[in-house]
Structure 1
């Protein structure tokens, strides 16, 4: 074969390869964009913003519960019981508010890594801290003698 006879065949092969690559890029771009737009579940070890907010809210709620229990265990009319009740009320309200915020802004459902389960736990623990703080505050008020 003459070298000039191979030239059209090489051109056709290069043209076909270029067309195939262009078609691949054109068809692959929407598929890649679709895959990127799909929400993915967080890994078990990743600490997403939702998980961090839920954990923070739960720790605040547990702190409020602890201070509420300690305030109820103290004598009824003491400064420590009153301060513990105020801390329980404050921490419980903060846990309830932060848990509600995380639950409202979570993208997926339970198990997606957005902190929704932790937000529900934080709201329950925060509500418990509010109740204990209110009971302790009511019990710590001095009674009026007649």
Structure 2
């Protein structure tokens, strides 16, 4: 595969990732614009929908970071390049959804902190996936 074809593939992956992020942000914006009263903080042991969504998003994004780190450490097949990208996109998408729909601030139990963590970890997974994809295109 020529380097120009690999560059086009990387550009397509970046374009699709950017479009997906814009779509998630565009769909979540009306939910974020909904202004309501400050909710009562959830209990420590209570697992709210926001906490559950943020936890799932963070775990999926963390799986992407681990697989991406392993793929960078040693050569991996196609699965090592695709899993971090997909897991990163899912983590960023779910994290953005949780952040956009969380009512109240940090510490209210609505998953805002976990959503922010999922956004950061998902972006790290996307970067690692992009690096592994670039390296696999160069060597393959």
Q: Which has the larger radius of gyration?
A: 1
Instruction: Give the match for residue 98 of structure 2.
Output: 102
Alignment gaps of 5+ in structure 1: 1-36
3-state SS, counterpart of residue 134 of structure 2: helix
Given the alignment of the two structures, is residue 112 of structure 1 paired with residue 108 of structure 2, yes or no?
Answer: yes
1:43 match: 43
Q: Which residue of 1 aligns with 2:60?
A: 60
Contact 2:38 / 2:104 at 8 angstroms: preserved in 1? no
TM norm structure 2: 0.70
The match for 2:118 among 118, 122, 142 is 122
- 1:80-99 aligned at under 5 Å gives the runs 80-99=76-95
How far, CA to CA, are the matches of 1:132 and 1:40 in structure 2? 39
Count of paired positions: 104
Q: Establish whether residue 140 from structure 1 lines up as the match of residue 136 from structure 2.
A: yes
In the alignment, the residues of structure 2 paired with residue 93 and residue 137 of structure 1 have an alpha-carbon distance, to the nearest angstrom, of 15
User: Larger relative contact order (C-alpha < 8 A, sep ≥ 6)?
Assistant: 2
Task: Give the TM-score normalised by the residue count of structure 1.
Answer: 0.67
Report the secondary structure of 1:46's partner residue: coil
How far, CA to CA, are the matches of 1:103 and 1:142 in structure 2? 37
Contact kept, 8 Å, 1:58 with 1:126, in 2: the verdict is: yes
Distance 1:120 1:128 in 2: 13
8 A contact 1:81–1:137 mirrored in 2: no
Provide the aligned C-alpha RMSD in A. 1.6
